[in-house]
Structure 1
Amino acid sequence: MENVPDELWIAACAHRLQRQWHTVDPEQLEEVARDLARDPRLRAMDPGSAALDWLRPLHEPG
């Protein structure tokens, strides 16, 4: 979703990550989202989908 401004994409991605990790400092999640935004494959997705894609290994069995 390259037409979404970076700051909005990062904020939305951080919000989705926060739904997974309630106890992590929001500033740290924003840092993670900023890193995800640097990945062209993830940045091409909507922020929620990118967060879920990045989180997928945490939910896959061993």
Structure 2
Amino acid sequence: MDRETWIAVCAHRLQRQWRTVDPEQLDEVAADLWRDERLREMPPEAAAVAWLGPLLQEPF
């Protein structure tokens, strides 16, 4: 998947979590995630979920 598409799909997944955040900011976050080689190797939705993981976990 090319960079532009990966970032768009990732940003869309982030928006499902953060509906009130400006989409341009989510594009910037997704671009930052693209720069992480480990995340870039994942499908974009999986990378977003992996990155969101600590935020989605319930507190102890």
Range of TM-score over shorter length? over 0.9
Aligned residue-pair number? 59
Which one has the bigger helix percentage?
Answer: 2
In structure 2, stretches of 5+ residues that fail to align are: none
Partner deviation per Cα, 1:19-55 (whole Å, 9 max, x = no partner)? 0000000000000000000000000000000000000
In structure 1, stretches of 5+ residues that fail to align are: none
Percent of aligned positions with the same letter in both sequences?
Answer: 64
Residue 59 of structure 1 is matched in structure 2 by: 56
Q: How far apart, in 1, do the equivalents of 2:2 and 2:27 lie?
A: 15
- Residue 61 of structure 1: how far off its partner (Å): 3.2
Residue 38 of structure 2 is matched in structure 1 by: 41
Q: How far apart, in 2, do the equivalents of 1:18 and 1:61 lie?
A: 20
Identify which of 22, 25, 28 aligns with 1:25: 22
Question: TM-score by structure 2 length?
Answer: 0.95
Question: TM-score by structure 1 length?
Answer: 0.92
